[in-house]
Structure 1
Amino acid sequence: MNPLNWSQAIVQCQQAGRGYVIATLINTQGSTPRDGGCKMVIDGEHSYDTLGGGQLEFIVIQQARELLASNRNCQLVKPIPLAAEAAQCCGGNVVVMLESFAAVDWQINLFGAGHVCQALTKILAELPCQVRVFDNRAEFDHGCYPANCRFEHCSDPVSMVAELAPSSWNIIFTHDHQLDYQLCCQLLQHQHWSFIGLIGSATKAQRFRQRLQADGFDHQQLTCPVGLPQVRGKQPMEVAVSITAQLQSLYYQGKPRHQRNGTSWRQLRQLIQQPQVETER
């Protein structure tokens, strides 16, 4: 068991983008290792806190890992008679609620840590994504980025493209138009990105497309100006809202809609209210 408690573990998993399951004893009857309301957290490798140990905890962890393997948000309520199913001599009954939270697969890379980036990271902090910010100006490493956002100071942001995860989303808004162009060229050498966006006016977009075409790049992969045109405004937060709206609309278009399943409210009420007969020891 990891020394972190369950609440600390949730924060750690969320910051790292790992999938995790919260297991809660929502009902106990008879003799049980712990009382109702206690929690533990399980991720792909570790468990945090305890429901009382023993075979009960083994069953819960095993069930949690099965939920994590599906990598989707879901809930499950599982009744466990301790003597019959967990072979524990205390002989009581528990009802465990398992809440599974999928791992984050939405990686967004921001090149340039200026005003729009600062506004954008505030919004992305509330979304299921992991964010990396690249900039060659050390003064932007101020340590005030959200938990799901990591600043990386690099003298040559273009060189960082080789380290990016395939299928990641990339947005360019540096302080230098030549650096913007170099980043566009480097990104357009690969076909495995989910998105490449460049901030700029219609004039900048036209000039960049002409240069990219002359240099042999397929500028059709580049979205410039980035952001939804219906969302107007030039303030950094207005631009950030426009960009976020575009990213979300494209991201959720490509995500399959999972059928909701798990334990219904009627089943949950029955599980909690039904009398449980304590198994003989």
Structure 2
Amino acid sequence: MTLAGLFDSHGGVIRVALARVRGSSPRNEGTEMFVAPEALHGTIGGGQLEHRAIETARAMLHDGELARHTDVPLGPEIGQCCGGRVELSLTRMRGSDKRAALERAEMEAAALPHVYVMGAGHVGRAIATMLQHLPVRCIVVDPRAAEVALCTVAVETRVSAIPELDIATAPPGSAFIVLTHDHGLDFLLTSAALERGDAAYVGMIGSATKRVKLRNWMRKHHDATCFERLTCPIGAGGSRDKRPGLIAAFVVAEIMAELTRDAAANGAAQAGHALARGHHHDQEGATAR
């Protein structure tokens, strides 16, 4: 259920937010979930932490309680072994709170990275099927209307006579996966994506031989200095199995690793700072004793 759908169908909703995170936790500080009597939207990480938060939120709705703040150790006390500690803020939402939550959701959706699947064949459709569930905006582009019509999952589709224009007008930081029905078109689109200079990922389906041919083609027709940023073959680090679904799984993992690299590094840095603060406080406590 969408967040707007949850708010439309339920008057009473509790917002559950991770107000503070110390140490290891399944989700980061600021993560929120919305709980209604018989529905919910979002997740704070699953497990006993989330199960108990949902129970508490629904008890609050039943009892008319407006707000509660809890401090939960993520250890054997609740049947989890993360080892950290989180503070939960549970608040019954007013109309203004719901409007603010919808605005945040819209801003998050607008900030999602764009992933362009250039080709709606078997592998392209398999990739789109997986990307529909991930925090990206997936756009499947192909000049063949019949192939595009076969892509029926919850992603954006475009029948484009000049697909290089879709690459040219994509926002900075986009990812491009090139797997069309024509090697010449693959070369044209891949070089266009590489020459942008701001793509988070550029991948082309094919073999090592096809990669060499593209490099030679770019040397003749385009700027080849950006060639080393190309991933080709795509998904090659996972398996030699060439079934579309398996190729798609490894390609999607490859793309998401690139798109979330900075976020993962920032999360690790924040965790390190939190551990350092905890160690410093422990030393202060030992000194005081």
Bucket of the pairwise TM-score, normalised by the shorter protein: 0.5 to 0.7
- The Cα offsets for residues 57-115 of structure 1, whole Å up to 9 and x where unpaired, read as 1563477479x39x8xxxxxxxxxxxxxxxxxxxxxxxxxxxxxx54623210111001
Taking the TM superposition and a 5 Å limit, the aligned residue runs for 1:60-139 are 60-61=97-98, 64=101, 68=104, 102-103=108-109, 105-139=112-146
1:145–1:151 Cα contact (<8 Å) kept: no
Q: Structure 2 vs 1, CA of residues 109 and 8 (structure 1 numbering), >3 Å: closer, same or farther?
A: farther
Post-superposition shift, 1:184? 1.9
Q: Structure 2 vs 1, CA of residues 254 and 31 (structure 1 numbering), >3 Å: closer, same or farther?
A: closer
- Shifted more, 222-231 versus 249-258: the winner is 249-258
Q: Structure 2 vs 1, CA of residues 234 and 5 (structure 1 numbering), >3 Å: closer, same or farther?
A: closer
Are residues 1:257 and 2:259 paired?
no
Are residues 1:240 and 2:248 paired?
yes
Name the amino acid aligned to 1:169.
A
Q: Write 1 or 2 for the structure with the bigger share of helix.
A: 2
1:121–1:145 Cα contact (<8 Å) kept: no
Which of 190, 211, 214 is the equivalent residue of 1:208? Answer: 214
1:141 aligns to what SS in structure 2?
A: helix
2 CA distance for matches of 1:29 and 1:213? 66
Q: CA RMSD in A?
A: 3.6
2:94 aligns to what SS in structure 1?
A: helix
1:139 aligns to what SS in structure 2?
A: helix
1:230 counterpart residue number = 238
1:213–1:219 Cα contact (<8 Å) kept: no
In structure 2, runs of 5+ residues without a counterpart are 10-30, 37-56, 67-90, 272-289
Are residues 1:146 and 2:153 paired?
yes
Post-superposition shift, 1:250? 2.2
Which of 195, 208, 222 is the equivalent residue of 2:201? Answer: 195
- Shifted more, 187-196 versus 210-219: the winner is 210-219
1 CA distance for matches of 2:157 and 2:62? 52
Name the amino acid aligned to 1:57.
R
- The Cα offsets for residues 7-42 of structure 1, whole Å up to 9 and x where unpaired, read as 779xxxxxxxxx9963646345899699xxxxxxxx
1 CA distance for matches of 2:7 and 2:199? 35
Post-superposition shift, 1:175? 0.5
1:57 counterpart residue number = 94
Post-superposition shift, 1:189? 2.4
Name the amino acid aligned to 2:267.
R
2:141–2:158 Cα contact (<8 Å) kept: yes
1:21–1:64 Cα contact (<8 Å) kept: no
Post-superposition shift, 1:254? 2.1
2:279 counterpart residue number = none
Post-superposition shift, 1:219? 0.6
2:173 aligns to what SS in structure 1?
A: coil
User: Percent identity at matched positions?
Assistant: 26
1 CA distance for matches of 2:58 and 2:197? 49
| Structure ID, larger Rg | 1
Q: Structure 2 vs 1, CA of residues 158 and 30 (structure 1 numbering), >3 Å: closer, same or farther?
A: closer
1:15 counterpart residue number = none
Report which structure shows greater RCO (CA 8 Å, sep ≥6). 1
Q: Structure 2 vs 1, CA of residues 5 and 202 (structure 1 numbering), >3 Å: closer, same or farther?
A: closer
Post-superposition shift, 1:231? 2.1
- The Cα offsets for residues 158-198 of structure 1, whole Å up to 9 and x where unpaired, read as 12222211101001000011111111222222111111111
Q: Aligned residues, how many? A: 196
